[in-house]
Amino acid sequence: MKGFPAVLENISDLSLIQIKALLSLTSDYKKKDKDLVESFYTGFRTPVIATSFLENSTRTKHSFAIAIQKLGGMYIDFNADTSSLKKGETLEETLLTLHHQGVDCCIIRTSVSNELAQFKENPPLKIINGGDGSNQHPTQALLDLFTMIGDLGDLNGKTMAIIGDCVHSRVTHSLVELLPQFGMKLILCGPEGYIPNSSESDSITHTDNRDEAIKQSDCIYLLRIQKERHQGTEDKHFATYHEKFGVSLDTLGKLDKEVFVYHPGPANIGVEISEDLIHSPLYRGYKQVENSTYMRMAIITAILTNRNISSQLELNGDDAKIKTGPKAL
């Protein structure tokens, strides 16, 4: 895909045209999916793609692993816990090492917000942000967008309440950058300390009233409390959270709202969501998981097949002159 960034860190790295192209490619992959591995890559060799998850993950890492293998790429699970990162090596050194081993792209999850920005100027290899601290989770937001369009059609003029720990949620930070581009209005809802201080806009409003937020919404997005990112002060809400901000079939029934409920997972049943809601047809979390593979196939394809980007590192390297075929990087 033309001009696709070599480092996909934020939603703002992508143009609206690129986002729409990703949606269309995701849809193609979803239609074409067979259990057979199909090689997508028309270049001169099979791409080698690694995941390096420095924070826990079930959904994101596995869906990338499946996406890579469905595309016919070679998948390397780079285990950070047993790597030289534990011996004090910097992330940059590690990535340069992976590059020289022939890895074309690395999907990185880190607990450090903005850690990947340092690689944008001169990327050691292609990088996809698999979630960085509380900063961004662009691939999750993109697969959410794809799922919502599939469920609701045109999002223009529709409203979604994001209920939960918005301030610590990298998913929210990406959704806030992405969904208003499709005309969606967002209501960020949660107790004090869970909603960003940043100013509201035409597209984004804040409230601490769950029922009011749901009443105004065409769909809702629930978030777990990101306990691992709290400094202690926000913990006072845990005990009363379900009653005030949790959502169940009863909550929706009383408000006469039969709306789709999204969740990036992992869900904490009995806290932000009830058992009956998560097992009801209104819950779209499993659809998000299903679509995640196709969106990640599209993102990997886009980042690898961009012939416009050539790494400075490759061009400056000793072997630059003898490379003739299309470059993976």
In the complex, what is the shortest distance from the CB of residue 272 to ligand NCD, in angstroms, rounded to a whole number? 10
Binders of ligand NCD: how many residues, by CB under 6 A?
A: 11
Is 296 a binding residue for ligand NCD by CB under 6 A? The answer is no
Round to whole Å and give the CA distance between 190 and 206: 8
In the complex, what is the shortest distance from the CB of residue 143 to ligand NCD, in angstroms, rounded to a whole number? 9
Round to whole Å and give the CA distance between 200 and 198: 7
In the complex, what is the shortest distance from the CB of residue 322 to ligand NCD, in angstroms, rounded to a whole number? 41
In the complex, what is the shortest distance from the CB of residue 20 to ligand NCD, in angstroms, rounded to a whole number? 23
Is 284 a binding residue for ligand NCD by CB under 6 A? The answer is no
Give DSSP secondary structure letters for 141-161. HHHHHHHHHHHHS--TT-EEE
Amino acid symbol at 314: E
Is 136 a binding residue for ligand NCD by CB under 6 A? The answer is no
In the complex, what is the shortest distance from the CB of residue 60 to ligand NCD, in angstroms, rounded to a whole number? 4
Contact present, 320 and 314 (Cβ < 8 Å):
yes
Contact present, 308 and 3 (Cβ < 8 Å):
yes
Among 10, 51, 60, 293, binds ligand NCD (CB under 6 A): 60
In the complex, what is the shortest distance from the CB of residue 102 to ligand NCD, in angstroms, rounded to a whole number? 28
First-to-last alpha carbon distance for the chain, in angstroms, is: 13
* 121 Cβ contact partners less than 8 Å away, ≥ 6 residues apart: none
Is 133 a binding residue for ligand NCD by CB under 6 A? The answer is no
Is 137 a binding residue for ligand NCD by CB under 6 A? The answer is yes
Q: Which of 147, 168, 177, 166 lies closest to 8, judged by CA?
A: 177
Which residue number, 51 or 226, has a Cβ lying nearer to ligand NCD? 226
Is 230 a binding residue for ligand NCD by CB under 6 A? The answer is no
Which residue number, 41 or 64, has a Cβ lying nearer to ligand NCD? 64
Is 265 a binding residue for ligand NCD by CB under 6 A? The answer is yes
Is 264 a binding residue for ligand NCD by CB under 6 A? The answer is yes
CB atoms within 10 A of CB 253: 10
In the complex, what is the shortest distance from the CB of residue 36 to ligand NCD, in angstroms, rounded to a whole number? 27
Among 26, 110, 135, 140, binds ligand NCD (CB under 6 A): 140
* 116 Cβ contact partners less than 8 Å away, ≥ 6 residues apart: 7, 9, 108, 110, 127, 129, 132
Is 268 a binding residue for ligand NCD by CB under 6 A? The answer is no
Element spanning 110, H or E: strand 105-110
In the complex, what is the shortest distance from the CB of residue 82 to ligand NCD, in angstroms, rounded to a whole number? 22
In the complex, what is the shortest distance from the CB of residue 45 to ligand NCD, in angstroms, rounded to a whole number? 30
Alpha-carbon torsion (162, 287, 127, 88), positive or negative: positive
Round to whole Å and give the CA distance between 68 and 86: 26
Round to whole Å and give the CA distance between 241 and 151: 28
Of 62-101, which residues contact ligand NCD (CB under 6 A)?
none
Per-residue x/- mask for ligand NCD, residues 171 to 190, rule CB under 6 A?
A: x-------------------
* Strand partners of residue 188: 162, 206
Is 124 a binding residue for ligand NCD by CB under 6 A? The answer is no
Is 229 a binding residue for ligand NCD by CB under 6 A? The answer is no
Binding site for ligand NCD (CB under 6 A): 59-60, 131, 137, 140, 170-171, 224, 226, 264-265
